[in-house]
Structure 1
Amino acid sequence: MATRSLSHVLGVSDSISGRAWLWRGGTMDLAGDTAGSHGLDHDILSQLLTTRGVAPDDVSRHANPTMREFLPDPSEFRDMDAAAERLAQAVLGREKVTIYGDYDVDGATSAALMIELLRELGLDANYYIPDRLLEGYGPSGEALVKLAENGSSLIVTVDCGAMAHEALTMARDAGVDVIVVDHHKCAAELPPTAALVNPNRLDENDLAASHGHLAAVGVAFLLGIALVRALRPHGYFDDRKEPNLMGLLDLVALGTVADVAALHGLNRAFVAQGLKILGRRERIGMAALMDASRLNRAPKASDLGFALGPRINAGGRIGESTLGVRLLTTRDPEEARAIAEQLSALNEERRAIEGEVQEAAEALLANQHNMAVHVLAGDGWHPGVIGIVAGRIKEKTGKPSIVIANDTDGTGKGSGRSISGVDLGAAIIAAREQGLLVAGGGHAMAAGLTIAAENLSAFTEFLDTRLARDVERARATQAMHLDLSLAPGGLTPDLVTTLDAAGPYGVGWPAPRVAVGPVRIVKADIVGKDHLRVIAAGDDGRSFKGIAFRAAETEMAQTLLHRSKGRRFHLAGRVKIDDWGPRPAAELHLEDAAFAD
């Protein structure tokens, strides 16, 4: 292995897409090693971990992230013990409990986790999932009061409630206890509750606050631990088996990845261990969902975000909001199969709707090229897909983006996605406090809002002023960060296995990128609707396949398609296994290219 002094990988300071290629941390150039001969598995694994923030003396703990090593004492979190004791009293007294969840994957998995845990404890809890279109995000005061009137003495909100002051005041006045389990940003003044468990409370201690990256389902899991512990002194398990908390980690993994929570620390342990549970296919609804996704192997973290999660989300976006919870808690295989197939059909419908809204939103971009934050609003846009479209716009432009679906009543529902280094959730909360929004909240990378039409211009200007410097700073540091440089012969299935060992990967724990070159383009064409496919050959006589998804119209694709003759290139991207052929091969999921000479 050679170590280079240059900060730019392969000397690329300006790629075809206009990015510098920089080493993520230490340099690792394997270009001189041939496939299977470098023997550097340990070195690669150690460097992948250290360049993602792991201290050199802590590599072994992070190489195999276990619950034992990363799980904090739940009692460190404010109100955790109060929440656990109130739930314990409900279990002991066989109270009527309702779990009030959000309509996305994090909400569905959080609700399912609480329902399944209480079921194992002998208490059948009800659930309530609001309709995205009719009720919107967060607890409705009217719904909470109605649940109380129907006999619920305890309501647990999951993935919502941290900012629901008015609704929770109505619940308190109706005489029902509410426990809030959330992870969204909080204001200094908290709503009235029996307990509010949220690592992003402003009054949290340092250890609890360091877990602010948890999804709500992760917080719910910690509450589950605290609940079991609270029941022990009451002798509750003298004649019954304690619930299998580890068996709930499949739900935690799915909710964590689908909610794009940062995969470091405890979240990596959640997902790593949860994937093992998922691989056993023990949960009937999860097995049906994998079958509907045509996933016939053990799932990876990426499958949770791109195959399973979108199907659960489709129910809340354009279908029936309860489908996800019903699927994840059913004990009936036939019901599970039917719901999973329904969610798959809804997901296909969602894709078509999303494409229409994205096309309309992109048509508005020309008028906003100087804006730090894109705020795009339109009539007739389906509010169930605006978050996805905001993410697409963000990826296309490299700027935070908010997409708003205007309603006929003069308000609009909006969803935003941000870039690293720009706290969109805090800006949305500030805009609400300035009176520019009817409602709004979120976290650093994602936020939601309701806005009156007459405030749209002022809101757009507010965001541009508040975030312009942060966006400029974040974009100035945007580059292609790479972990390895190698010759084509180094692209092997064994290398993929080595790179996978430092996973699971996701937000905050990026999958490794490699640079390969120099190569000549043997063949380049478009496959599917707009995917670029290339066959590249190196000076070492080895060739490989590369594919760039949804990239047909990019400058990179056009260059490789039409201007590659007689030129050599460096290619950069992520290495994956292509198992379509007679034997597995490594292929490059292409993200960028640069001229090599």
Structure 2
Amino acid sequence: MKYKWNYQPPTPIQREAAKALSRELGISPILCRLLQERGIKTAAEAKHFFRPQLSELHDPFLMNDMEKAVERLNRAMGRKERVMIYGDYDVDGTTAVSLVYKFLQQFYSNIDYYIPDRYEEGYGVSEKGIDYAYETGVKLIIVLDCGIKAVGEIAYAKEKGIDFIICDHHVPDDVLPPAAAILNPKRFDSTYPYEHLSGCGVGFKFMQAFAMNNGIDFHQLVPLLDLVAVSIASDIVPIMGENRVLAYHGLRQLNSNPSIGLKAIIDVCGLADREITMSDIVFKIGPRINASGRIQNGKEAVDLLIEKDFASALRQSNQINRYNEARKDLDKSMTEEANRIVDGLADLSERRSIVIFNEAWHKGVIGIVASRLTEIYYRPAVVLTRTGDMATGSARSVSGFDVYKAIEYCRDLLENFGGHTYAAGLSMKVENVPEFSRRFEEYVTGHILPEQTNATIDIDAQIDFRDITPKFFFDLKKFNPFGPDNHKPVFATFNVYDYGTSKVVGRGQEHIKLELVDNKSNNVMNGIAFGQSSQVRYIKSKQSFNICYTIEENTHKRGEVQLQIEDIKPNKMF
């Protein structure tokens, strides 16, 4: 992969501002410049950023309909009505259901939970789920991470005497469902100060409001923050503002005293003796929770996340781990097949998007395949399969491009759609697929910027090895947790040399273990370049080269810094 490096050196004014902030904070001007790029200009703002406090969470009653939602839940409990917690089958939905169910179960027993089957019912609120609720005497459904577009389904439930409280974070349509209360910070009339909560985050705010209204101490909610952190990381929502507070304290909970279910997943992932990061959630914990809904049924994930017995949780985690292994096999074979289809497209070089349809593909894995295609081809991608007489699919996007708006442009061709800027789901009649592909490409071509279709690496700062001191690394770690809007900083160092001991490693000899020096200090820096063994001949040529990298802690030697090399370029190429 040939990356273009995007680096804008700071201006003299920016350098002076960083130095001034550095004198106040006592940290490197390089790191102060990174703070300024995140909109943090003063020492007071920096202290809030480095040590976010739970007291900084917004008043949940600032959210539209929160008073209505709490009043309806109180009424249900006062009347001893049966309450159902209903949620999507992905990580955000299952963590949200688990959080609300676990919290309310402490105070109320006439409660159930429900996760729709991906294959029988599809995404969101289903009539089958409503019928089940009606048959079991449910009078109130709290729906999480979906429901904002379920106008017909919620009207159907109302006819059966069932009320809904919607807790969602997806973009709504002009017409809202006839629910008793709709909690969604993306409502067009929203009065809430922060719009980027996860679905689980909206559920947490509802429980925070319920606790405030009923005199329940906030600290009873703190043990549930591990679930919120898992949802924030897995749903790829911004990690600034209120999400940063929730993720920061959720990670602390996950590392110090995780719930029984999450502890079992941590053990199965091999993370028990490590400090867990957002990256660990994205690549290890989240995929295992997701695998349940992809391969079997998301209800099994909730069963695990609310489990109180560790031995039972471990058995369930091992089962979910087997689902994840099956998911990996499907993912690999489908991605290879998708690549062959895309590579065979006659007009690939001219297209700005990818839309592919295969009737036989596994519905539970198409979202992952769409993500793989955006990574490989740097284009928004839609992957579709057949479900009955419908084509159902998942869309993923490249950095900076709103794929939801591109799908909305084609809405007259669709039966259903929903999602975010970077990920969306959709369904249409099979005969509409060709016209959808044409119209989607039309929108993308008209709106995508040239730089959004190139493989680029944004460099945050150019530094020398002498800058990477123990204190620099200690202060850099304060930027955690990392994620969208607070990405892990990428540094570049120019004119580095092999110390003479770099070598190719890995089962397939595909990685390089590096020992590097530059001409500014005597520091020998350890690094690892995954999948870049093709560069080793140049590295061994004794010529200088440029690297860009993130700074990590060596997992095998605690306290030792290791560079994770993102890209290597000969000097003449930068």
Same fold (TM over 0.5): yes
Are 1:507 and 2:484 an aligned pair?
A: yes
Which of 80, 88, 101 does residue 102 from structure 1 map onto?
88
Which of 356, 366, 371 does residue 386 from structure 1 map onto?
366
- Check whether the contact 1:488–1:537 (CA below 8 A) recurs between aligned residues: no
Are 1:143 and 2:129 an aligned pair?
A: yes
1:343-393 CA deviation, whole Å, 9 max, x = no partner? 122112211110111111111223133222211222322111111121121
Are 1:274 and 2:247 an aligned pair?
A: no
Counterpart of 2:381 in structure 1 is: 401
Counterpart of 2:226 in structure 1 is: 250
Which of 524, 527, 530 does residue 543 from structure 1 map onto?
524
Counterpart of 2:397 in structure 1 is: 418
Equivalent-residue separation in structure 2 for 1:469 and 1:55 (angstroms): 36
Equivalent-residue separation in structure 1 for 2:101 and 2:49 (angstroms): 31
Change over 3 Å in CA distance of 1:244–1:24 after alignment to 2: farther
Change over 3 Å in CA distance of 1:285–1:358 after alignment to 2: same
- Check whether the contact 2:512–2:536 (CA below 8 A) recurs between aligned residues: no
Counterpart of 1:355 in structure 2 is: 332
Counterpart of 1:290 in structure 2 is: 266
Aligned length: 554
Counterpart of 1:176 in structure 2 is: 162
Which of 527, 533, 538 does residue 512 from structure 2 map onto?
533
Equivalent-residue separation in structure 1 for 2:6 and 2:166 (angstroms): 45
Are 1:17 and 2:7 an aligned pair?
A: no
Counterpart of 1:48 in structure 2 is: 34
* 380-389 or 467-476, which deviates more: 467-476
Amino acid at match of 2:91: V
Q: CA deviation at 1:76?
A: 1.6
- Local SS of the residue matching 2:137: coil
1:456-481 CA deviation, whole Å, 9 max, x = no partner? 11111111111223322552797432
Counterpart of 1:593 in structure 2 is: 568
Equivalent-residue separation in structure 2 for 1:544 and 1:300 (angstroms): 23
Q: CA deviation at 1:273?
A: 0.6
- Local SS of the residue matching 2:156: helix
- Check whether the contact 1:535–1:543 (CA below 8 A) recurs between aligned residues: no
Identity across aligned pairs (percent)?
A: 31
Q: CA deviation at 1:526?
A: 5.1
Equivalent-residue separation in structure 1 for 2:363 and 2:185 (angstroms): 29
- Check whether the contact 2:403–2:424 (CA below 8 A) recurs between aligned residues: yes
Equivalent-residue separation in structure 1 for 2:286 and 2:478 (angstroms): 23
Q: For 1:217-366, what aligned pairs fall within 5 Å after superposition?
A: 217-232=200-215, 244-295=220-271, 296-366=273-343
Equivalent-residue separation in structure 2 for 1:146 and 1:453 (angstroms): 30
Amino acid at match of 1:372: R
Counterpart of 2:178 in structure 1 is: 192
Change over 3 Å in CA distance of 1:268–1:243 after alignment to 2: closer
Equivalent-residue separation in structure 2 for 1:216 and 1:346 (angstroms): 24
Q: Is there any run of 5+ residues in structure 2 with no aligned partner, and where? A: 16-24
Q: CA deviation at 1:524?
A: 4.6
Counterpart of 1:6 in structure 2 is: none
- Check whether the contact 2:3–2:456 (CA below 8 A) recurs between aligned residues: no
1:87-141 CA deviation, whole Å, 9 max, x = no partner? 1112222221111111111001100111011112233521110111221110102
Counterpart of 2:352 in structure 1 is: 372
Change over 3 Å in CA distance of 1:72–1:477 after alignment to 2: farther
- Check whether the contact 1:293–1:308 (CA below 8 A) recurs between aligned residues: yes
Change over 3 Å in CA distance of 1:497–1:397 after alignment to 2: farther
Q: What is the Cα-based RMSD across aligned positions, in Å?
A: 2.5
- Check whether the contact 2:208–2:218 (CA below 8 A) recurs between aligned residues: no
Change over 3 Å in CA distance of 1:380–1:182 after alignment to 2: same
Amino acid at match of 1:261: V
Change over 3 Å in CA distance of 1:193–1:277 after alignment to 2: same
Equivalent-residue separation in structure 1 for 2:231 and 2:329 (angstroms): 24
Q: CA deviation at 1:482?
A: 2.3
Change over 3 Å in CA distance of 1:242–1:563 after alignment to 2: closer
Change over 3 Å in CA distance of 1:24–1:283 after alignment to 2: farther
* 98-107 or 497-506, which deviates more: 497-506
1:30-69 CA deviation, whole Å, 9 max, x = no partner? xxxxxxxxx9635344332221222335222112122212
Greater relative contact order (Cα 8 A, min sep 6): structure 1 or 2?
Answer: 1
Counterpart of 2:409 in structure 1 is: 430
Counterpart of 2:108 in structure 1 is: 122
Equivalent-residue separation in structure 2 for 1:330 and 1:188 (angstroms): 40
Counterpart of 1:58 in structure 2 is: 45
- Local SS of the residue matching 2:495: strand
Equivalent-residue separation in structure 2 for 1:260 and 1:364 (angstroms): 28
- Local SS of the residue matching 2:358: strand
Equivalent-residue separation in structure 2 for 1:254 and 1:369 (angstroms): 38
Equivalent-residue separation in structure 2 for 1:530 and 1:118 (angstroms): 52
Equivalent-residue separation in structure 2 for 1:566 and 1:61 (angstroms): 46
Equivalent-residue separation in structure 2 for 1:571 and 1:370 (angstroms): 32
Are 1:520 and 2:506 an aligned pair?
A: no
